[in-house]
Structure 1
Amino acid sequence: MVDLQLALNGDTTHPAMPRTADEIARDAAACVAAGATLLHLHAFDDDGDESLAAGPVGRMLRAVRATCPGIPVNVTTFAAIVPDPRERLDLVSSWTELPDLVAANQGEAGIDDVSEVLARRGVGIEACLLSGSDADRFVRAGRHERFVRVVVEPLVEDVDDALALDAELESTLDAAGVTLPQLHHGIGAASWQVSRRALARGHAIRTGLEDTSVLEDGTAATSNRQLAAAAAAMVSGGAPAAR
């Protein structure tokens, strides 16, 4: 089975993006019903700001697990939310409710410490690669068995550039003999072609309002559930070779 991860929220202003724990839980359940097998989430505090604090993260996880039992939940550790590495480490160390997985951007300062602390507590770590330098760093570091999967993220809007970066990052992993499962996603309109390329190569994919606000035909997406259904149809129907 090819996994479909839904990235429900984050740094986006889409009116349908969920922020409160209850909103996230309802949206997550709708996406799972539409075909999502994995969830990637950002917690928000009472002011509506993204947060890595134990309170918002715990509330969100409890709510989502109540509506989506058995679905692996991944939580961000994005440095843009808390730029100071020491403060970010202190916050994730204080978590009392633990996610199944976290996304660990390999190019961010302090990410090794964050990953180590959470891995010791039984949290799975996704190694996220956004650039060639991220991929090179990941390959050089070795000990790839520490990670659950590699997330390949060519985050550029131009379709050709996104596909080229996606291929470059995958090639670096292949050349180094990295055999971890891969999940690929892009942003904007390019996200759909990145997904098609990934599916053609047997990889998992991701969509959601964090990544794109448009469907493959360019029309505006109204909800995470709509994006989930479109991506699930792509998964079940197979993907023609990307251009």
Structure 2
Amino acid sequence: MRIVACLNGDRRPGSHPALPISVGQLVEDARTAVAAGATELHIHPHDATGAQSLEPQVLTPLLLELRAVLPKTPISVTTSLSAEPDAWRRFDMVQRWGELPDSATVNLHEPGSVEIARLLIDRRVGVEAGLWSVDAARILAASGLVSGFTHVLVEPEGATAGEALGNAERIDAVLDHAEIELPRLLHGKDDTVWAVLDTAIASGRDVRIGLEDTLTGPEGEEVESNAALVEMAVARMAAMA
């Protein structure tokens, strides 16, 4: 089972005392998260101002530093429009990437998602389909690119755990109907994280955890770090085994 540590996401600097933003912070956080049990990393690169960036000059040094410390750990990066709101600028940036990540997530509900997925596939980067909704699952099914994707991230929208899990079931139904057999990772956001994580573990799915998805533990307590979140997830997996 994959345990993906999602280290920072689109959270603003200062939203948590341990949120990693700089290259140095991300490298150290990645090291401790892997030591705690994470098998893969998912990262949103940030520039010197603390803003998200997909520029090659931001991504390349980050990947080089991470691979120097964790040469065997797969690294995924975002292509979210939260990092670059202009879909055409995003395409240009990804096209100019020199050092390539092992994989990249593509949110299929976003404008230009199919084009960015095709570009990544052509560049031999693994592509993870981010599915927030039933419509996004339908876009994946109709894209003609399913064979080029490596994984599906079922990231169900919902204000409550019940709403999120119900949405996840509907997304799964679309994938099943389309006979999409890609490995599926299931994760929640903020208030839905722990219930969705437990459901993913119980169903034998890949999981992810980190400060991108939640700043609190299962009882609502503030957590110390990404490594602490990974440790909590690993403990829950052991308890449910």
TM range (shorter): over 0.9
Q: Percent of aligned pairs with the same residue?
A: 37
Residue of 68, 71, 74 corresponding to 1:72: 74
54-63 or 28-37, which deviates more: 54-63
Q: CA deviation at 1:11?
A: 2.0
- SS of the residue 2:106 aligns to: strand
The question of whether the paired residues in 2 share the 8 Å contact of 1:29 and 1:67 is answered with: yes
Q: CA deviation at 1:209?
A: 0.3
Q: CA deviation at 1:65?
A: 1.1
Indicate the residue corresponding to 2:88 in structure 1: 86
- SS of the residue 1:178 aligns to: coil
Q: Distance in 1 between matches of 2:237 and 2:141?
A: 29
**Quick check: 1:33 aligned with 2:32?**
no
Q: State the AA in 1 paired with 2:9.
A: G
Gaps of 5+ in 1: none
TM-score scaled by structure 1? 0.94
Indicate the residue corresponding to 2:25 in structure 1: 23
Residue of 221, 224, 231 corresponding to 2:223: 221
The question of whether the paired residues in 2 share the 8 Å contact of 1:189 and 1:216 is answered with: no
Q: CA deviation at 1:235?
A: 2.4
Q: Distance in 2 between matches of 1:107 and 1:42?
A: 19
Q: CA deviation at 1:185?
A: 0.6
In the TM superposition, what are the counterparts of 1:23-172 in structure 2 within 5 Å? 23-172=25-174
Q: Distance in 2 between matches of 1:4 and 1:208?
A: 10
**Quick check: 1:4 aligned with 2:6?**
no
The question of whether the paired residues in 2 share the 8 Å contact of 1:189 and 1:215 is answered with: no
In the TM superposition, what are the counterparts of 1:136-215 in structure 2 within 5 Å? 136-215=138-217
Q: State the AA in 2 paired with 1:224.
A: N
Gaps of 5+ in 2: none
Q: Distance in 1 between matches of 2:116 and 2:40?
A: 22
The question of whether the paired residues in 2 share the 8 Å contact of 1:192 and 1:216 is answered with: yes
Q: Distance in 1 between matches of 2:162 and 2:60?
A: 40
- Aligned residue pairs: how many? 238
TM-score scaled by structure 2? 0.95
Moved over 3 A (4+): none
